Amino acid sequence: MALTFWVLAVLATLTCIGMAWALGANSNSPPFAPAIGANAISTMRAAFLIGILAAIGALLQGGSISETVGRDLILNTQISPLAATAGLLTAAAFMAFGVRTGYPVPAAFATTGAMVGVGLSLGGDPALAKYQELATFWLLVPPVSGGLAFGTATILRRDDIPETVGVPLLAAVVSGIIANVELGIVPAPAGATQNSVAGFATMLVDLPAPLVRGAITAAFAVLGFVTFRRRTQASVQRGIRSFLVILGSVVAFSSGGSQVGLATGPLEALFVTELGLPTLALLAIGAAGILTGAWMGAPRLLQATSREYAQLGERRSIAALVPGFIIAQVAIALGIPISFNNIIISGVIGGGLAAGSAGVSRRKIGVTVGFWLVTLASSVGVGYGIYWVFSTVLGMQ
């Protein structure tokens, strides 16, 4: 391979690490913001946990989103190292702006727009069917997340449902979903790269797969219910706060699996096709960047999202995180890049409205939504322009 190729490959990899750092500092922060707002955990401890959990999630669940970003956004062309660098520089610039200003810029919008822009500039064709799929999912996230959060918060506030029942029921739902979360370390059937605990059980037992999967799911749900039933009976306050931290942890794990692909996806062709390396090697690079970004840059945005959007109590915080976990895992299963800012903020708003809108900053919400739309539109143009400058003006290939 020519020296120019290796130079561009190294540059693209460094840009990937920079983008992963920005993701760790920005998009992986919201999962613990409600817990901090409820004073269930300190900002610095949350930042430490976010880094560890998101990095593990990136390694175990990051492959599907990475493939979508790297291969499915543009047709009839392959993303070159130079195009990957241009796209990542564009997305990272948007993310860095969000970290510096305290406004949560959506990583999924910035990266998707940037990669579409560089792909078009590269001469590829738009993947219109994929864009429609992404747009539909993204548009559904705010009402679904907000609606689920509103309903959950309303139930938790009802006097006729004791917290020693309501919180364990939610723990049962989350535990049942965990049984079906697909992970890279769980043995999978031929042709698959990952599997869930419930799915693995169907491979071991000679019974109908739906029956086995249902039994494992029910067992996990019962375990979650019993555990938090005992905790809330011993102390309602401590039980609620421990559940809130657990929720933040599983959502942070999910965010790593979803967000790392935004950094590693543009390098899929380079690492897997050109260099013949396993996807896990690429995910490990992204996980390292997310880890350092969370430890170094997350506290600022954690403060912004936890204090400025709403003054949350423990119950409203739980209501914001439960739909976040559900939506994140659905997106990972479908290979759809998502914005955790979008999910968590929608949940925060829905939970806040359940107790009245006084705790929700309408101006902040309006500015945030505006940032989302501007990011998606402008990143396409910026990505297109940066690659055009690199390839045409500077003569790089």
Digit-coded pLDDT (tens) for 112-161: 999 999 999 988 999 999 999 999 998 898 889 888 888 888 878 777 78
CA atoms within 13 A of residue 6's CA, in its CB half-sphere: 3
Please give the pLDDT value at position 139.
Answer: 87
Please give the pLDDT value at position 360.
Answer: 56
> Which residues span the domain enclosing 211?
3-393
Helices 279-307 and 236-264 cross at an angle (nearest 10°) of 130
Percent of the chain scored above 90 by pLDDT? Answer: 29
Please give the pLDDT value at position 178.
Answer: 94
Q: Is the pLDDT of residue 297 over 80?
A: no
Where is pLDDT greater, at 49 or 360? 49
Closest CA to 318 of 227, 385, 251, 381: 251
Can you tell me whether residue 42 is helix, strand or coil?
coil
Please give the pLDDT value at position 397.
Answer: 58
Residue type at 66? S
**Range 272-296 average pLDDT:** 88
Please give the pLDDT value at position 75.
Answer: 92
**Range 293-318 average pLDDT:** 69
Of the listed ranges 60-64, 226-230, 312-316, the one predicted with least confidence: 312-316
Please give the pLDDT value at position 309.
Answer: 43
Helices 81-101 and 362-388 cross at an angle (nearest 10°) of 150
β pairing state of 74-75 and 125-126? antiparallel
Count of structural domains, the chain: 1
Runs of H (alpha helix) within the chain? 3-25, 33-37, 43-61, 63-67, 81-101, 107-121, 128-157, 163-178, 197-204, 209-234, 236-264, 268, 279-307, 314-334, 340-354, 362-388
**Range 14-43 average pLDDT:** 77
Q: Which residue has the tokens 């899929």?
A: 268
The pLDDT tens digits of the residues spanning 310-345 come to 456 677 778 878 888 999 899 998 889 987 767 877
Please give the pLDDT value at position 353.
Answer: 75
- Rounded Cα distance between 278 and 23, Å, is 22
pLDDT band for position 396 (50/70/90)?
low
Q: Is the pLDDT of residue 200 over 80?
A: yes
pLDDT band for position 358 (50/70/90)?
very low
**Range 374-395 average pLDDT:** 85
Q: Is the pLDDT of residue 25 over 90?
A: no
DSSP 301-320: HHHHHHHSSB---HHHHHHH
Please give the pLDDT value at position 361.
Answer: 63
Please give the pLDDT value at position 103.
Answer: 66
Q: Is the pLDDT of residue 308 over 60?
A: no
Mean pLDDT comparison of 97-101, 106-110, 175-179, 373-377, highest-scoring range: 175-179
